[in-house]
Structure 1
Amino acid sequence: MLDRQCSKSSCQREAVATLTYVYADSMAVVGPLAPVKSPHGFDLCADHADRLSAPLGWQVVRHQTLGNAG
């Protein structure tokens, strides 16, 4: 595990997703935890990643990795 904490203030949970913004397209993009911490990304725990909402007029894009079934 990469052992990073959620970027939300006062949250001590382990980060599982990375949030980035695409300002030109008014998008908030949530995907799997980036392998390297970026100054332009925000690491989020599962709860904060699931509850993320965007400002009016923006869209949230969620990228998920699929595990092996079976």
Structure 2
Amino acid sequence: MNRSCSRVACTSDAVATLTYVYADSMAVLGPLSMSHEPHSYDLCVRHAERLSAPQGWQVIRHAVLGEAGFGA
């Protein structure tokens, strides 16, 4: 399940998947999805840790229990 980070010019392996919920002004970051989803973004550790959302938006970070992952 090796996929690259979705950020332009980044060739690092993705470890997390970012999805936006526009209706709720929310960015949801979780473990890498099993397959690529067309309306989501795969991020490497560096970009997942640095993720920020527009002012007024909420960022939800989901992590798998027992795993040291992004933002840990």
Q: TM-score, normalised by structure 2?
A: 0.90
Q: Which consecutive aligned stretches of 4+ in structure 1 deviate over 4 angstroms post-superposition?
A: none
Instruction: Show the counterpart of 1:5.
Output: 4
Instruction: Show the counterpart of 1:15.
Output: 14
Q: How much identity, in percent, do the aligned residues show?
A: 63
Instruction: Show the counterpart of 1:36.
Output: 35
Q: Runs of 5+ in structure 2 lacking a partner?
A: 68-72
Alpha-carbon offset, residue 60 of structure 1: 0.5
Instruction: Show the counterpart of 1:53.
Output: 52
Q: Deviations over 1:29-63 (max 9, x none)?
A: 00000001000110000110010000000010000
* 2:40 counterpart letter in structure 1: G
For the pair shown, the structure with the greater C-alpha radius of gyration is 1
Alpha-carbon offset, residue 66 of structure 1: 1.2
Q: TM-score, normalised by structure 1?
A: 0.93
Backbone CA RMSD of aligned residues: 0.9
How many residue pairs end up in the alignment? 67
Any idea what SS the aligned residue of 1:12 has? coil
